[in-house]
Amino acid sequence: MWRLVCFAGLACGLFSVPVSGRLKQACRPVQLTGETGTFTSPNYPDDYPNGQRCRYEISVQRDQRIRLTFSDFNVERGLDHVVVYDGDEKTGGEGQQYTGQLNVDPIESTGNTMTVVFTSDRAGTASGFNASYVALLEPGTTQSQSTKTHTNSEKVGCGPLLLTGESGALNSPNYPQDYPNNLTCRYGIVVGTGRRIRLTFSVFDLERGSDFVDIYDGNSTDRQDRIGVRNTGELNLGTVDSAGNALTVVFTSDSAGTSSGFSATYTAVDTELACPSRRPFLGDSGQLSSPFYPAPYRRDERCRYRIRVDFSKSVRLEFVDFDLEEGFDFVEVFQGDTTNPKFSLGRYTGSSNPGVVASASHFMNIFLTSDRSIAGRGFNATYTSVDKVFATCTIGEFRCADGVTCIRSWQRCNGEEDCSDRSDERDCGSVDLMSTGNNV
């Protein structure tokens, strides 16, 4: 697209301006294949952009139908509209058109597919719509009959399913009724490249020790890609995050015993929202928190936070909120611009708030690590700078460049970091280390 662009009163010219990535991305065709799912107009609940044409394709198992519900519907009357097709856009007939601010009654498909197309014109906008759907078993087939008569995986709607929308839902077969026996159901989730999947379980109730949900990072079900242990029994699984743009969930039930199963939803999240950048926090004071706080941080996370204040000051960190998986996930605070355990000021886990941690130096590093299982809410902290207390070193001691630490002179240039700023190992020149030691 060509646009007239002006730079701060200096010059104007025609430049090629890429159509905003966000708009393009929001409007890629969305495929929804779970037993339930939700979707919204771009930017919802904020106003949608102009000039959009967004297609949402819903398909469920062959013996199921779809009930679509708009919980909110508000598009510019007469100019922007939503068309719902019973089937796909080409074969689904005229489609039913909706425009304006409406209370739309639930819409049911006759077959197992439905297509929703949203179009906005070049001007005027509104908050758009929020829609959800559920898969219905065909009329005349009650759920309990289906449990009795369908014994193979495909008939009870257990996939394999591939979910490619930016958000979606997956449930165990028949959920919230008991799932059938002898099943292996595979659910693959793939989102846009450069994004991650955040899967959140709202319900998890399986026959303990014999029915399982296994979650794998990526497209394969190789043992080495499994996230954490096999999940069974009644669990508060919380959220699971992928490292890449794919996640695979496998549900297996054995030949006897059943339960209500599981219900989960997922959303695609931006990768860059995870750890902070490697650049230090530089202000006199500031605020930092774990990725996604107050939502849980990712599994298998490693984030380093660097704080640097003025040389004449030192860093005082105060945790406002703290909740990590006890014994497995940790926050460690270091004096200096280092994560060398030697300069650790404390290593914290669980949900008791560590309170205030102070670094004598003008640098502080904070390192968050999580394992591959349950994640907590994370932490939220603020820091301030306070006057540095410079150390007075005595004879036979060396003062580190940060001015706050004294080490023994023989520790200088001995090939080991004894100052958290490594100043003891600097300017050693070509001096032979042994003879330096002998001089002291």
The residues binding ligand NAG (CB under 6 A) are 38, 40, 44-45, 71, 130, 132, 151, 181-182, 190, 218-219, 244-246, 255, 287, 289, 293-294, 320, 380, 382
Residue 88 CB, nearest distance to ligand NAG (Å)? 21
Taking the least distance from each CB to ligand NAG, the nearer of 360 and 381 is: 381
CB atoms within 10 A of CB 222: 11
Nearer of residues 44 and 410 to ligand NAG, judged by Cβ: 44
Closer of 112 and 153 to ligand NAG (Cβ): 153
CB 342 within 8 A of CB 417: yes
Q: What distances in angstroms separate CA 208 from CA 83, 203, 230, 232, 254, one per listed residue?
A: 46, 15, 11, 5, 11
Minimum distance, C-beta of residue 388 to ligand NAG, in the bound complex (Å)? 24
In whole angstroms, the minimum distance from the beta carbon of 335 to ligand NAG comes to 23
Candidates 379, 273, 240; CA nearest to 323 is 379
Six token digits for residue 440:
């002291």
Q: How far apart are CA 90 and CA 82, in angstroms?
A: 16
User: Does an H or E element contain 422, and which?
Assistant: none
Closest of 127, 146, 125, 151 to residue 135, by C-alpha: 146
3-state secondary structure of 223: helix
Cα separations in angstroms, 357 against 50, 314, 316, 368, 430: 50, 11, 6, 15, 39
Measured from the CB atom, is 78 or 192 closer to ligand NAG?
Answer: 192
Taking the complex as a whole, the smallest distance from the CB of residue 392 to ligand NAG amounts, in Å, to 36
Tell me how far apart the 2 most distant CA atoms of the chain are, in Å. 95
| Residue labelled with tokens 């950048």 | 277
State in Å, rounded, how far the first CA of the chain is from the last one: 72
Residue 284 or 432 having the CB closest to ligand NAG? 284
Nearer to ligand NAG, 116 or 419 (CB): 116
Closest CB to ligand NAG among residues 221, 232: 221
Length of the chain: 440
Question: Which residue's structure tokens are 């230090």?
Answer: 280
Q: Give the pair of three-digit tokens for residue 240.
A: 């699971």
- Give the shortest CB-4-to-ligand NAG separation in angstroms: 35
Closer CB to ligand NAG, residue 31 or residue 130?
Answer: 130
Copy the structure tokens of residue 135: 């898969």
For the chain, helix, strand, coil in percent to 5 are: 10, 40, 50
- In angstroms, give the least distance from the CB of 202 to ligand NAG: 11
CB of residue 377 vs ligand NAG: minimum separation in angstroms?
10
In whole angstroms, how close is the CB of 437 to ligand NAG at the nearest point?
49
Min CB(382)–ligand NAG separation in Å: 5
Q: How far apart are CA 103 and CA 53, in angstroms?
A: 22
Nearer to ligand NAG, 191 or 374 (CB): 191
Structure tokens at 13: 């010219």
